[in-house]
Amino acid sequence: MPRCSTQCGKNAILKRPKTGDALCKECFFEAFENEIHFTIQRAKLFRPGATVAIAASGGKDSTVLAYVLKLLNEKYDYQLKLVLLSIDEGITGYRDDSLDTVKKNRDDYDMPLKIMSYKDLYGWTMDEIVAEIGRKNNCTFCGVFRRQALDRGAYLLNVDYLATGHNADDIAETVLMNILRGDLSRLNRCTSIITDSGDGIPRVKPLKYTFEKEIVMGHARVLLKDLEKIDPAIIMNIIQSGENIRVNETAKIPKLTKCTRCNYVSSQEICKACILLEGLNKGLPRLGVGKSSRVKRILKINEENSKKCSRTEESCCKENEKKSCVCKSLSSCVR
Ligand SMILES: Nc1ncnc2c1ncn2[C@@H]1O[C@H](COP(=O)(O)OP(=O)(O)OP(=O)(O)O)[C@@H](O)[C@H]1O
């Protein structure tokens, strides 16, 4: 390795993929932290005196986020109050381990920690959901419930911001996925460093321009890594493409509104979390997996059937072994 390109006199230990600079350990840390500080300053990400919940999964990104935010908060006097918010999805052998890491973050960084579980919020752990639906579609449940659980946690903690550890690779991957799906609404939102979750608590991504070097499973990610081999600037270019795409004014973009059932933000009358939950509770776990037009059709059929159902709650549930009952009282008798 050559000498550190900052002329500090030390030997370089790595070549940064983002800039191509050969740096020593100390200069790399400094450049890394300064870039995040610059991102925060340029986007005016935090109001001084605000409380920030750091969405802490126990993974590398959110652990680095907690570390860097604490460091920058003290170094540059952002005057932020930092707390950790963790969601326990109830995945044995996975989340329980990473929750130990989050508890270590709490002790190391001296930050309060709030843990919220799917079991308490939805009545189901991910292990129970997988037992019901199988392995194929369980990511849909996990993603939708986690997103809402983080919003609920942030609301409960009465914080001003929710910061996640999404990095440049995550964002470039999401841009690519939304382009491939033609999802203009999400494409519009996914490159923003700050997004309104709909209940007044903005979500922020201080690591938006920070690279992730690890290769994670997933087709878009693999494609991205292949493209990166051809041109290292590709990750930034894809984010920029996403930012520059202009949406045709005649294109139909769903408006964010409130779910009529749980009152959380949704682009549909009933939010995805409520539909997934209804499917689980009615023994129709695949209800929310797939197109919203199909979901609407099934909900309508169920609604019509339930009008026809003249049985009592007990007999209906008994007859259907608490599984495919169509009477309106089903969710109360199943649970
Ligand atoms: N169980 C969780 N509890 C709290 N926050 C979470 C949880 N899972 C994900 N997040 C937040 O969402 C971000 C992106 O999550 P993702 O599942 O893509 O993990 P990741 O990119 O591997 O990040 P990490 O390394 O922090 O786990 C995380 O950095 C974290 O801020």
pLDDT in tens, 306-317: 655 555 555 555
For residues 138-164, give the mean pLDDT.
90
CA of 63 to the centre of ligand 1 (A): 9
The most distant pair of C-alpha atoms in the chain lies apart, rounded to whole Å, by: 84
CA of 134 to the centre of ligand 1 (A): 23
pLDDT value of position 54: 98
Determine whether the shortest distance from the Cβ of 146 to ligand 1 is under 6 A: yes
In a domain, 280, yes or no: yes
pLDDT value of position 334: 34
Helix, strand and coil content of the chain, in percent to the nearest 5, comes to 50, 10, 40
> CA 171, CA 175: separation in Å to the nearest integer?
6
Determine whether the shortest distance from the Cβ of 62 to ligand 1 is under 6 A: yes
pLDDT value of position 41: 96
pLDDT value of position 165: 93
Q: Give residue 302's pLDDT band: very low, low, confident or very high (50, 70, 90).
A: low
Q: Is 57 labelled a binding residue?
A: yes
In a domain, 305, yes or no: yes
The pLDDT of residue 327 is above 80 = no
Q: Give residue 264's pLDDT band: very low, low, confident or very high (50, 70, 90).
A: confident
CB atoms within 10 A of CB 102: 23
More confident residue, 295 or 283: 283
Q: Which atom of ligand 1 lies nearest, measured to the CA of 88?
A: 1
The pLDDT of residue 335 is above 50 = no
The pLDDT of residue 100 is above 80 = yes
Nearest partner of 260 among 250, 251, 271, judged by Cα:
271
Burial 49-75 (b: 16+ CB within 10 A, else e): eeebbbbbbbeebbbbbbebbbebbee
Amino acid at 326: V
> CA 223, CA 121: separation in Å to the nearest integer?
36
In a domain, 265, yes or no: yes
Q: Is 218 labelled a binding residue?
A: no
pLDDT value of position 143: 85
Task: Give 134: exposed, middle or buried? Use CB within 10 Å, 0-12, 13-18, 19+.
Answer: exposed
CA of 61 to the centre of ligand 1 (A): 7
Q: Is 253 labelled a binding residue?
A: no
pLDDT in tens, 270-287: 888 888 888 888 777 777
In a domain, 103, yes or no: no
Q: Give residue 161's pLDDT band: very low, low, confident or very high (50, 70, 90).
A: very high
Range of the domain at 324: 257-334
CA of 322 to the centre of ligand 1 (A): 35
Amino acid at 293: S
Determine whether the shortest distance from the Cβ of 218 to ligand 1 is under 6 A: no
More confident residue, 267 or 90: 90
Nearest CA to ligand 1 atom 6: 57
In a domain, 263, yes or no: yes
The pLDDT of residue 46 is above 60 = yes
More confident residue, 146 or 93: 146
- Domains in the chain: how many in total? 2
Determine whether the shortest distance from the Cβ of 98 to ligand 1 is under 6 A: no
Q: Give residue 222's pLDDT band: very low, low, confident or very high (50, 70, 90).
A: low
Q: Report the range of poorest mean pLDDT among 78-82, 185-189, 222-226.
A: 222-226
Mean pLDDT of the chain: 80
Q: Is 183 labelled a binding residue?
A: no
Q: Is 56 labelled a binding residue?
A: yes
Amino acid at 195: T
Q: Is 31 labelled a binding residue?
A: no
pLDDT value of position 214: 30
> CA 64, CA 35: separation in Å to the nearest integer?
14
pLDDT in tens, 55-66: 999 888 888 899
Q: Give residue 38's pLDDT band: very low, low, confident or very high (50, 70, 90).
A: very high
Determine whether the shortest distance from the Cβ of 169 to ligand 1 is under 6 A: no
Determine whether the shortest distance from the Cβ of 281 to ligand 1 is under 6 A: no
pLDDT value of position 171: 92
Q: Which atom of ligand 1 lies nearest, measured to the CA of 64?
A: 26
Distances in Å between the Cα of 307 and the Cα atoms of 130, 237, 300, 311, 334 are 31, 54, 11, 11, 19
Determine whether the shortest distance from the Cβ of 105 to ligand 1 is under 6 A: no
The pLDDT of residue 326 is above 50 = no
Determine whether the shortest distance from the Cβ of 126 to ligand 1 is under 6 A: no
Q: Is 87 labelled a binding residue?
A: yes
Determine whether the shortest distance from the Cβ of 174 to ligand 1 is under 6 A: no
In a domain, 8, yes or no: yes
Q: Phi first, then psi: what are they for 15, rounded to 5°?
A: -115, 120
Instruction: Indicate whether this model's pTM tops 0.80.
Output: no
In a domain, 152, yes or no: no
pLDDT value of position 316: 54
For residues 308-330, give the mean pLDDT.
50
CA of 190 to the centre of ligand 1 (A): 15
